[in-house]
Amino acid sequence: MGHLSEILAILVAAVICVWIFRRLNLPAILAYLVAGTLVGEHVLGATGNSIDYDHIAEIGIVFLLFTLGLEFSLPKLMAMRHLVIGVGSKQVGLSLLVFMLIALLLGISFEAAMVIGGIIALSSTAIVIRQLSETGSIKRKSGQISVAVLLFQDVAVVPLLIIIPLLSDQSGNSMIVALLFALLKGVFVIGLLMIVGKWILPRVYNQVASVRTDELFVLTTLFVTLFTAGLTQAFGLSMALGAFLAGMMLGESQYKYQLEADIRPFRDILMGLFFVTVGMKLNPITLLTQPFTILFLVIGFMAVKIVIVRYLAAKAGESTKDAWASAFMLAQMGEFGFVLISLAATHGVLSQEQISILLGAGIISMGITPYMIKNARKWSVALAYDGKQDDQDEQQKHHAKDMANHVVICGFGRVGQTVSRFLKQEKIPCIAIDIDPLRVNEARESGEHVLFGSARQTEVLEAASIHKARLVVVSYGAADQSLEVVHKVRSISKDVQILVRTRNDDSLTLLKDAGANEVVPESLEGSLMLVSQVLNLSGVPFTRIVRSVRTERKNHYNRLHGFYPGVDTNMSSDAIERLEFVHPTLLLDDAWANGKCVAELDLPRRRVDILAIRRGNDEITDFDGEFVMQAQDTLILQGKPRRVERLERLLQQGL
């Protein structure tokens, strides 16, 4: 029972913390660290010492490095070598050296100072990449600089993982000898794994894939990951190095995405456990007894990293604005810093107090990272006003002020550009809004009227003279983005027509309620186009096809909303609230609805439709409220799952 209660304590703490942190839009990594601190020996002491969690958690690092290897691409590294080598390598080297010297000046031993330098030099790949993707900044130059630096940092983790175990009991010349010996062993193991990866692994996976069994594919992936990790460990090197090399070899294969999908559940669970074990090592008393030390450390190392990245990026030929923005994005400590802390703790390189101070500083720096990334561009513009982009914007804004009865296109991607071309053919004035600087510059050079900025900002919409426009086209596929824009447009102008494009009909009602006049779901329009071709090739007259399609659009795709769910249907809580399913219900012999009229079901109030009623081999679609239902009738219901369930209960059991 002891083992089970400990695992339950970890799971309860993790579930509660992750739920709270995600509600606050904070990274799940922080939630796991806090959960570990709560259940650890320093707070609740719920875990005890009966299970060696470190060994289980280490497998999480193995899977993390495997997936990192899958994503690591030598061609990508070569394509970005100017930034990777020019900024990334120098950032790691210079940061490590600066922090190491500061630690030595504070009287810390050489081994501990080197480890501390390595820990603080690294930034958070998981948080930065996720935040950049969410804010759409990953395509900007500052985003590209950040990705390049993170790419090199991910590679730099591997030698640091090899060096730390050697620092625990080696010093001076013997350590150099040990490093050289480790390097020789490393070259041999890498060579061996490269041969296996080049000639054997692809053939193994071809055979596994031909069997077409998902379980075998997953088992093979787990075996390959753990075998390569065990092989490098047998040679006295890091388990993570072997996993990284295995991932890198398979990253170029056709099975890359399947491998990543298979390993992700194991990685996420074990990585969560890993960060819980790291959190267990944090002594909250250190946070209370040395708050100024931790605060000073956070401010100090973040300021130094900002200065270093800004200097190196500017020296590599990047604009001052982009250099500042990328510097703000990379100022925090990363998840691999916690990996190194855990490894250093295992080998006794760092003291318990040093571990707690570093963990506290790392947690604080990662906690403020989303806020820093969100404001990085604003701060960089304030620090380095170059006026170039803004001069062009002023010209575009001046042009927009003279426009009236025009069309505003929010989002100038492929759909937005297609709309613009057809409007130009008809001599209808239009102006677009887009947040991608490269696309904006390319479009402007081609003579397009494009404003740089987010359509979710009032100032940008007002600059596009939204109050004088005849129509606003929201061309984003993402419904949440479109919803924000619709709300913002409606707050400025109550009369302008709004047309929204979405990928499917999940948020059709939400967008309508927000103020959209028309919503065009791509999946349903695609279905209509396909149906038109099918009917045409089946010999149905063209006029009848046009009439059917027009009727369907006029009725807001009513007959196309519901669908039969499948195994791969997204059944998450968000999706369930938005989707409409089609579900057949058989009226049993003693069902309440037998002998009742359809009108008695009060369908409008229950917001469920009956698409058809099957009676024997007949399908009845043309029925009214007086239609009487009978036992063994099958009713084809359409609506949101919970509403369909309620109606189904009514049909069978009554009120």
For residue range 383-424, list pLDDT tens digits in order: 875 544 444 555 555 566 678 889 999 988 888 888 888 888
Residue 47: inside a domain, yes or no? no
Tokens 């989707």 belong to 579
pLDDT band at 642 (very low <50, low <70, confident <90, very high): confident
Q: What is the pLDDT of residue 581?
A: 76
Backbone angles phi, psi at 614, to 5 degrees: -95, 125
Q: Is the same domain home to 408 and 536?
A: no
What is the C-alpha to C-alpha distance for residues 382 and 395, in angstroms, rounded to an integer?
Answer: 21
Name every residue whose Cβ is closer than 8 Å to that of residue 278 and which is 6 or more positions away in sequence.
33, 36, 338, 341, 342, 359
DSSP letters, 64-87, are: HHHHHHHH--HHHHHHTHHHIIII
Q: What is the pLDDT of residue 96?
A: 92
Q: Is the same domain home to 211 and 175?
A: yes
Residue 567: inside a domain, yes or no? no
Q: Which of 6-10, 231-235, 278-282, 589-593 has the highest mean pLDDT?
A: 589-593
Is residue 360 within 8 Å of 287, Cβ to Cβ? yes
Residue 43: inside a domain, yes or no? no
Q: What is the pLDDT of residue 279?
A: 77
CATH number, domain at 444? 3.40.50.720
What is the C-alpha to C-alpha distance for residues 153 and 158, in angstroms, rounded to an integer?
Answer: 9
Tokens 């924000």 belong to 484
Q: Between helices 53-71 and 335-346, what is the axis angle to 10°?
A: 140
Which of 560, 583, 612 terminates a domain? The answer is 560
pLDDT tens column, 437-469 = 767 877 777 778 888 888 888 888 888 888 889
Q: Is the same domain home to 504 and 605?
A: no
Q: Is the same domain home to 465 and 547?
A: no
* 27 has pLDDT over 50: yes
* 341 has pLDDT over 60: yes
Q: Is the same domain home to 218 and 356?
A: yes
* 307 has pLDDT over 90: yes
Question: What secondary structure letter does DSSP report for 137?
Answer: G
Strand runs labelled E in 348-481: 407-410, 430-434, 450-452, 471-474
CATH number, domain at 581? 3.30.70.1450
**Residue of 294, 202, 318, 176 whose CA lies nearest to 256:** 202
Residue 190: inside a domain, yes or no? yes
Q: Is the same domain home to 375 and 270?
A: yes
Q: Is the same domain home to 135 and 236?
A: yes
Provide the domain count of the chain.
4
What is the C-alpha to C-alpha distance for residues 240 and 227, in angstroms, rounded to an integer?
Answer: 11
Name every residue whose Cβ is closer than 8 Å to that of residue 594 and which is 6 or more positions away in sequence.
587, 629, 630, 631
Q: Is the same domain home to 540 and 512?
A: no
Q: What is the pLDDT of residue 172?
A: 53
Q: Is the same domain home to 392 and 378?
A: no
Count the residues in the chain: 655
Q: Is the same domain home to 491 and 634?
A: no
Amino acid at 49: N
Q: 543: helix, coil or strand?
A: helix
Tokens 């009060």 belong to 602
Residue 377: inside a domain, yes or no? yes
Q: What is the pLDDT of residue 389?
A: 47
CATH number, domain at 174? 1.20.1530.20
Backbone angles phi, psi at 498, to 5 degrees: -120, 125
* 82 has pLDDT over 60: yes
What is the C-alpha to C-alpha distance for residues 218 and 342, in angstroms, rounded to an integer?
Answer: 28
Q: Which two tokens stand for residue 344?
A: 């250093």
pLDDT tens column, 521-557 = 887 777 778 888 888 888 888 888 888 877 776 665 6
**Residue of 332, 391, 381 whose CA lies nearest to 122:** 332
Q: What is the pLDDT of residue 9?
A: 83
DSSP letters, 544-597, are: HHHHHHHHHHHTTTGGGS-B---TTS--SHHHHHH--EEEEEE--TT-TTTT-B
Range of the domain at 608: 573-653
Half-sphere exposure of 207 (CA within 13 A, CB side): 5
Rg (the chain; Cα; Å): 30
Angle (CA) 203-209-210 rounded to 5° is: 90
Q: What is the pLDDT of residue 308?
A: 93
Which of 332, 363, 382 terminates a domain? The answer is 382
What is the C-alpha to C-alpha distance for residues 174 and 553, in angstroms, rounded to an integer?
Answer: 78
Which of 327, 348, 382 terminates a domain? The answer is 382
What is the C-alpha to C-alpha distance for residues 17 and 419, in angstroms, rounded to an integer?
Answer: 46
What is the C-alpha to C-alpha distance for residues 292 and 301, in angstroms, rounded to an integer?
Answer: 14
Amino acid at 258: Q
**Residue of 446, 519, 447 whose CA lies nearest to 482:** 519
Average per-residue pLDDT for the chain? 80
Q: What is the pLDDT of residue 395?
A: 56
Q: Is the same domain home to 360 and 444?
A: no
Is residue 503 within 8 Å of 523, Cβ to Cβ? yes
Residue 2: inside a domain, yes or no? no
Residue of higher predicted confidence among 65 and 216:
216
Q: Is the same domain home to 545 and 505?
A: no
Backbone angles phi, psi at 519, to 5 degrees: -125, 125
Residue 26: inside a domain, yes or no? no
Residue 62: inside a domain, yes or no? yes
What is the C-alpha to C-alpha distance for residues 564 and 568, in angstroms, rounded to an integer?
Answer: 11
DSSP letters, 197-232, are: IIIIHHHHHHHHHHHT-HHHHHHHHHHHHHHHHHHH
Q: How many angstroms separate the first and last alpha carbons of the chain? A: 46
What is the C-alpha to C-alpha distance for residues 107 and 367, in angstroms, rounded to an integer?
Answer: 29
Is residue 442 within 8 Å of 436, Cβ to Cβ? no
